[in-house]
Amino acid sequence: MKKVNYRNLPSQLSLLLLALLLTFSINLNAQDTSAVADAEAIADVAPADAGGDIAAGEQLFNANCASCHKLDKKSTGPALRGVASKHDREWLYKWISNSTELIASGDSKAVQLFEDNNRSVMTPFPALSNTDIDNILAYTSQPKPEPTVAQLPTNGGGEGDSGVSNNLILGVLALVFLMLVIMLFLVTKTLRRIAEANGVEYPKSEKHTPLWKAFAENQFMVLVTSIFLLLVAGYFMYGYFMQVGVDQGYAPVQPIHFSHKIHAGDNQIDCNYCHSSARKSKTSGIPSLNVCMNCHKNISEYAGDVNPEEGYTIDFYNAEIKKLYAAVGWDEATQTYTGEEKPVEWVRIHNLPDFAYFNHSQHVSVAGIECQKCHGPVEEMEIVGQFAPLTMGWCINCHRETNVNIAGNEYYEKIHEELSKKYGVDQLTIAQMGGLECGKCHY
Ligand code: HEC
Ligand code: HEC
Ligand code: HEC
Ligand code: HEC
Ligand code: HEC
Ligand code: HEC
C-alpha cells in the first residue's frame, strides 16, 4: 500500500501549503485592522473643547505668539499650555491686548510676571478681539498629546508595514520553492518505484571519469582557464589601485548630526545662506555656529519627518540640537549665552591635494555651475558624502565638454573672438580657453 501513500503526498503537501498561506494572510489582515484601531484611538483622544475654535486659535497662535511662546517649554515667554486656568479671563484679555499698560497700572500679578521673566516686554495685541483670544486660549488648553501615539500617523506606518509584508512574502515564496523541490523529488522517486514494480526498463546513469579529472588532464583547458583567471585578477587589481586616494562616497560621522536633507531640502534653506563665500572666494567654507543660532534660538525642538528605522527619531534630532546649544554655550532656561563655548570640529569631506588649485567662485559665479553638478543632490542627503571622484580626469573631462559662458562678460568676448577664429568654432570649450594647461591647476 506504500504506492498509494506516495501518490497522495503531492496533494497533501499542496493542502498544507494552502493552509500556511491562509494563516499568513490572516496575520497580515490582523495587522491592518490593529493599525486602523490605533488610528481610531487617536481620534478618540480629541481634546475637550474649552469654549473656542481650536483650529482658528492655532492659526492665530502661530502667527502672533509662536515667535516668543511654546506650548510646553519656556522660550522668550513662559510655556502657555494650560495658562487659561492660571489667570481669570478678564485679566487675560487685558494682558494680551496690552501687557505693558497692565504692568504700568501696578497690577501685582502682572508686575510679578514681568520681573520673573527678566523684564522682557511682550508685544501688545490691541487688534485681537476677545473672541480671538478665546480661540487662542482654547488652543493652549488642549491636553498634551501622548508622544508615542502622536508619532504613529506622521512617520507613515505604511513603510514599516510594507517592510514586514515584503519579508513575509519572501519567506512564503522561499517556502513554496522548497516544497516544489521536495515534491518533484518525491514524484520521481514514486515514478521509479512504479516503473520497477511494473518491470519497465529505464536507462540508469553509468560511471564516468569525474569531471575535475577530465579537466585536469586536458592541457588546453587548463591554459585557457589560467589566462582567464589572470585577466580577471588584473582587471580588479587595476580598479583597486585606481581607487587609492579617491574618496568618492566618503561620508564621515560628524560631531553634530547636521542633516542637509532637513535644512536644504525640507526647509528649503539656500546653500548660499550657510556657504556664503562659495560665490565670492576660493573656498566655500563651513558656517560658524552663530549662523546656526540665527534660527536655533527659536528652534529648540525638531518637529519634522522622522525615520525611526534608521534611528532618526524626534529624540535623536532633539539631542543633536542640544549639542549645538552646548557648543555655543546657550542656556535654554534663561535664553542667554553663558560664554562657555567649545567649537565644533566638523570633519572635512572634500579635500584636494595641496598641489592642486580649485576655486569655487570661478565655477559658481563666473561659470554659473550649480553646486549639485559637482556635489550631487546634497539637499537629499541626511549625511553629506563626497559625490564626485575629484580626480584630475574628472576636472579635465568637464573642461573638455563644457562651453565657456561668455554672456555679459566683456573680457571673455574679446578672447573668444580671437580664439574662436583660431579654432574655427562658434563655441569655445574651457579646454580651448586653456583649461587644460597644467599651470592653471597646479602650483
Ligand atoms: C515678543 C515676544 C512675545 C510675543 C510675540 C507674545 N508674548 Fe506673551 N509673553 C512674553 C513674555 C516675555 C512674557 C512674560 C511676561 C513679561 O516679561 O512681560 C509673556 C507672558 C504671557 C502670558 C502670561 C503667562 C503666564 O505664565 O502667566 C500670556 C498668557 C501670554 N504671554 C500670552 C501671549 C499670547 C496669547 C500671545 C500672542 C497673541 C503672546 N503672548 C505673544 C512675550 C511675548
Ligand atoms: C543651514 C546651513 C547649511 C545649508 C543651508 C547648507 N549647508 Fe552644506 N554644510 C553645512 C555644515 C554645517 C556642514 C558641515 C557638516 C557636514 O559635513 O555635514 C556642511 C557641509 C557641506 C559639504 C561638505 C563639506 C566638506 O567637508 O567637504 C558640502 C559639499 C555642502 N555642505 C554643500 C551644500 C549644498 C550644495 C547646499 C545647498 C543644497 C548646502 N550645503 C546647504 C551647513 C549648511
Ligand atoms: C535658516 C534657519 C536655520 C539655520 C541657519 C540652521 N538651522 Fe538647523 N534647523 C532649522 C530647521 C527649520 C530645522 C527643522 C525643525 C523642524 O522641522 O521642526 C532644523 C533642524 C536642526 C537639527 C535637527 C535635525 C538635524 O539636522 O539633525 C539640528 C541638529 C540642527 N538644525 C543643527 C543646525 C546647525 C548645527 C546649524 C548651523 C550649521 C543649523 N542647524 C542652522 C533651521 C535652521
Ligand atoms: C566645479 C565643481 C564644484 C562646484 C560647482 C561646487 N563645488 Fe564645492 N567643492 C568642489 C571641490 C573640487 C572641492 C574641494 C576643494 C578643495 O579641497 O580645495 C569643494 C569643496 C566644497 C566644500 C568644502 C569646504 C571648502 O570650501 O573646501 C563645501 C562646503 C562646498 N564645496 C560647497 C559648495 C557649494 C555650497 C557650492 C554651490 C554654491 C559648490 N560647493 C559648488 C567642487 C565644486
Ligand atoms: C562641472 C564642470 C567642471 C568641473 C567638474 C571642473 N571645472 Fe574647472 N571650470 C569649469 C568651467 C565652466 C570653467 C570656466 C570658468 C570661466 O568661465 O572662467 C572652469 C575654469 C577652471 C579654471 C580656470 C581656467 C582658466 O582658463 O582660467 C581652473 C583653474 C579650474 N577650472 C580648475 C578646476 C579643477 C582643479 C577642477 C577639479 C577639481 C575643476 N576645475 C573641475 C567647469 C568645471
Ligand atoms: C583642470 C585642472 C587640472 C589640470 C589642467 C591639470 N591637472 Fe593634474 N591634477 C589635477 C587634480 C585635481 C589632481 C589631484 C587628483 C587626485 O587627488 O586624485 C591632479 C593630479 C596630478 C598629478 C598627481 C597624480 C595623480 O593622478 O594624482 C600629476 C602628476 C599631475 N596632476 C600632472 C599634471 C600635468 C603634467 C598637467 C598638464 C598636462 C596637469 N596635471 C593638468 C588637476 C589638473
Average pLDDT of the segment spanning 345-374: 89
* Residue with the larger pLDDT of the pair 10 and 225: 225
pLDDT of residue 231: 93
User: Does 229 map to a domain?
Assistant: yes
253 domain residue, yes or no: no
Q: 408: pLDDT confidence band, cut at 50, 70 and 90?
A: low
Alpha carbon nearest to ligand 6 atom 24, residue: 392
Nearest CA to ligand 6 atom 13: 392
Q: Are residues 268 and 382 in the same domain?
A: yes
| H or E element in which residue 131 lies | helix 130-140
288 and 341 in a single domain? The answer is: yes
Q: Counting atoms of ligand 1 from 1, which one is nearest the CA of 136?
A: 35
Task: Write down the pLDDT at residue 146.
Answer: 67
Confirm whether 249 is domain-assigned: no
Using the predicted structure, report yes or no on whether residue 26 has a pLDDT greater than 50. no
Measured from the CB, is residue 264 less than 6 Å from ligand 2? Answer: yes
User: pLDDT tier at 285 (50, 70, 90 boundaries)?
Assistant: confident
**Segment 66-70 mean pLDDT:** 84
User: 326: which residues sit within 8 A by CB, 6+ positions away?
Assistant: 342
252 within some domain: no
- Domain count within the chain: 5
The three cell numbers locating residue 311:
534611528
Predicted pLDDT at 143:
85
Spatial distance between the Cα atoms of 60 and 135, rounded to a whole number of angstroms? 8
Q: Element (H or E) spanning 330, and its range?
A: strand 330-331
**Helices 2-44/147-154 angle, 10° precision:** 110
Write the CB contacts of 345 (distance below 8 Å, at least 6 apart in sequence): 255
What integer pLDDT is reported at residue 239 of this predicted model? Answer: 80
Determine the average pLDDT of the residues in 170-181: 92
Ligand 5 atom closest to Cα of residue 405:
17
Summarize the confidence of residues 370-380 as an average pLDDT: 91
Given pLDDT bands bounded at 50, 70 and 90, which one contains residue 2?
very low
Closest ligand to Cα 128: 1
379 lines ligand 2 (CB under 6 A): yes
Range of the domain at 229: 211-243
- CATH number where 82 lies: 1.10.760.10
The answer to whether position 320 is within a domain reads: yes
276 and 331 together in one domain = yes
Provide the H-helix boundaries in 205-283.
211-217, 219-243, 260, 271-274
Residues 395 and 384 in one domain: no
Please indicate, yes or no, if residue 149 is contained in any of the structural domains: no
The answer to whether residue 250 sits within a structural domain is no
Range among 58-67, 88-97, 303-312 with highest mean pLDDT value? 88-97
CA distance 277 to 286: 9
Q: Which residues contact 432 (CB under 8 A, 6 or more apart)?
A: 419, 423, 425
Q: Nearest-5° angle of CA 219, CA 223, CA 229?
A: 145
**Measured from the CB, is residue 70 less than 6 Å from ligand 2?**
no
What's the pLDDT at 148? Answer: 47
Closest by Cα among 408, 394, 405, 393 to 430: 405
Which has the higher per-residue pLDDT, 411 or 143? 143
**pLDDT, average across residues 60-88:** 86
- Which atom in ligand 2 lies closest to the alpha carbon of residue 350? 27
Centre of ligand 3 from the C-alpha of residue 293, in Å: 9
Q: Stretch 20-33: mean pLDDT, rounded?
A: 42
pLDDT in tens, 202-217: 666 666 778 888 888 8
Residues 227, 85 share a domain: no
Long-range CB contacts for residues 198-203, cutoff 8 Å, separation at least 24? none
Calpha distance 427→424 (Å, rounded) = 9
- Domain finish residue from 368, 388, 408: 388
Residues 120 and 15 grouped into a single domain: no
Same domain, 285 and 366: yes
pLDDT at 244: 67
pLDDT over threshold 50, residue 284? yes
Q: What integer pLDDT is reported at residue 409 of this predicted model?
A: 67
Q: How far is the CA of 430 from the centre of ligand 5 (A)?
A: 7
Residue 263's pLDDT is what? 92
Is residue 86 within 8 A of residue 116, CB to CB? The reply is: no
Q: What is the mean pLDDT of the chain?
A: 79
- What is the value of pTM for the model shown? 0.63
Q: Give the model confidence (pLDDT) of 225-274 as tens digits.
A: 999 999 999 888 888 877 666 777 788 889 999 999 999 998 889 998 99
- pLDDT above 70 covers what percent of the chain? 80
Q: Which ligand is nearest to the CA of 439?
A: 6
Over residues 320-343, the mean pLDDT reads: 89
Rg of the chain (C-alpha set): 36
Claim to verify: residue 172 and residue 25 sit in the same structural domain: yes
The answer for residues whose C-beta is within 8 angstroms of residue 12's C-beta and 6 or more apart is none
Q: Among 270, 294, 302, say which to mutate for ligand 3: greatest number of ligand atoms within 8 Å of CB.
A: 302
Note whether 352 and 302 are same-domain residues: yes
User: What is the number of the ligand closest to the CA of 85?
Assistant: 1
Judgement on whether residues 37 and 158 belong to the same structural domain of the protein = yes
**Of 264-278, 392-406, 413-427, minimum mean pLDDT range:** 413-427
pLDDT at res. 197: 87
In a shared domain, residues 333 and 399 = no
Q: What is the pLDDT of residue 374?
A: 92
Per-residue pLDDT band at 35 (split at 50, 70, 90): very low
The reply to whether 205 falls in a domain is no
Residues 190 and 325 in one domain: no
Q: What is the pLDDT of residues 103-159, one digit of tens each?
A: 988 888 899 988 888 888 888 888 889 999 999 999 998 888 765 443 333 333 334
Q: What pLDDT was estimated at residue 117?
A: 86
pLDDT confidence tier of residue 182, bands split at 50, 70 and 90:
very high
Q: 41 or 345: which carries more pLDDT confidence?
A: 345
Asked whether residue 198 carries a pLDDT value surpassing 80, the answer given is yes
Q: Which residues pair with 312 in a beta bridge?
A: 307
- Shortest-distance ligand to the CA of residue 362: 5
Q: Which residue puts its alpha carbon closest to atom 39 of ligand 1?
A: 65
